[in-house]
Amino acid sequence: MQQTEAGQADPRVVAGFASFSRGAGVLAVAVALLVLAGWAWDLPSARDLMSGGVEMKVNAALGMVLAGAALLCCQSPSRRLRNVSGALSLAILVLGGLTLAQYLCGFDAGLDTLWRDDPGSVAMGRAPGRMSQLSAVAFVLLGGAGIAVCSERAISLAQGLVLGVMAIALYALSAFGYHGLNSDHSADFVPVPLAAAALFLLMALGWLAARPGQGLMRVLAARSFGGTLARRALLPSVLVPTLLSYVAQRLQANGLLSPEATITLLAVASGGMVAWIIWSVSFLLDRVERERRVTSHLQEDANTDPLTQVPNRRAFQATIEGLLRHRREKDAVFSLLMLDLDRFKAFNDTHGHVAGDHALRTVAHLVRSALRPGDLAARYGGEEFAVLLPGLDGPHAVQVAERIRRDLHLNTWQHQPITISIGVAQAQADDDEERLVARADRALYAAKASGRDRVVDESSLRSSATAAAVTTRPDQSSE
């Protein structure tokens, strides 16, 4: 699992969400058309779709057709089709609003039996052809969500409305175990058919997936640990308790479970669900930690000199850039040492490259041992090393350089003693990497030119140059 900045969408996840959203729209239209066919040709099995005699009404099926078509049109790159999606969503909102108004105000607008009579509902004492109260509310929310999504101006509001549809669908699925099988048809509550509840849930998920990477879906589409965890655990944690409740109620309604056994079943199943979520989190954390270690090792390999096992020039450049930025922004002091082994080519020619490699490793160890934990010693190239000393000015950096030079003198060498020349430069406010390294190199060359095995501070060279300029300046009085 690749770890990136939080909120950065994973293209594969986005493509998967888009495919799911289109599939949800197609499936909703197909199922709703099947229900309409059941009403047209008087096929009870097509009208209730295993809902135990609770039929999806014609208006509800028409609303589902409109909702599925709106979802499909909203994902089209064509502006015209997106406008069509908004119009369809408005029609859904009006359909649900009118139905809800009939329930609240107690009137009949003639909408419910406009397409088909419904004598079965009349026999039960219910308004003929009228969808459930919950279905009407769900259509109002779906219509509002579709309008908001297509306008691209209120994605978070749209997703909030869709979450309301999801809550209605989950409640309807769970309650169907009681109300869908209830023989008391005089109850005020009109049950939502099983197929309608499932389609509402599908449409809610489809609208959420229609805009991945935006609003509430930003985490779900993210290419991150949080995104992976949410995609793996969020939907099952919502659906499984509802499905378990539905199954338990069906079993209890059929006399296969007592109320006590139902409670026990739900408790055990809920515990298993929590355990599964904990295992999923633990699995992902373990995976992230293993990948973090691999990434850390790869990064260390990329920034480490393979021979001396000290940071390489890439690591040096990254560190000096940070120190220079800190120097400019906060006037932080630091110094640079440039170190070069004396007469190392002659050493290699005399004792061979294997001995030379051993000597380089020894020098790297001695240099690193002379530094503080926050300092950086890097192999700059060949037999040259660079040392960054955060918080140290020039005079204190000279003391560190002298300690390094002394440690090389005290070391017991395998073939012959090796000495080192060191140039010291304190960073100035106007320095960049190239200028600072050039000043330290100038001090290093001065140490070489003056006999090697010594430390030279670049500031002393500037002082000497200034003094020489004053001494050689012509006497203006003689002019």
Higher pLDDT, 5 or 50: 50
pLDDT-derived band at 387 (thresholds 50, 70, 90) equals: very high
CA-based end-to-end distance of the chain: 80
Q: Which residue has the tokens 């107690």?
A: 106
The predicted pLDDT at position 187 comes to 46
Structure letter (DSSP) for residue 309: -
The DSSP string of 36-47 is HHHHHTT-HHHH
pLDDT in tens, 51-70: 666 788 999 999 999 999 99
Asked if the model's pLDDT at residue 120 lies above 50, the reply is yes
Structure letter (DSSP) for residue 223: S
The predicted pLDDT at position 300 comes to 63
Q: What are the structural domain ranges in the chain? A: 11-218, 224-302, 313-464
pLDDT in tens, 279-336: 777 777 777 777 677 666 656 667 888 899 899 999 999 999 999 999 988 889 999 9
Q: Most distant CA pair in the chain: distance in Å?
A: 129
Asked if the model's pLDDT at residue 379 lies above 80, the reply is yes
Q: Which of 255-259, 295-299, 340-344 has the lowest mean pLDDT?
A: 295-299
Cα separation, 131 vs 168, in Å, equals 14
CATH fourth-level superfamily of 313-464: Reverse transcriptase/Diguanylate cyclase domain (3.30.70.270)
Helical residues (DSSP H) of 154-224, grouped into ranges: 155-179, 194-210
Higher pLDDT, 53 or 344: 344
Cα separation, 458 vs 438, in Å, equals 10
At residue 242, φ and ψ (nearest 5 deg) are -65, -45
The predicted pLDDT at position 185 comes to 44
Given a contact cutoff of 8 angstroms between Cβ atoms, the answer to whether 149 and 155 are in contact is yes
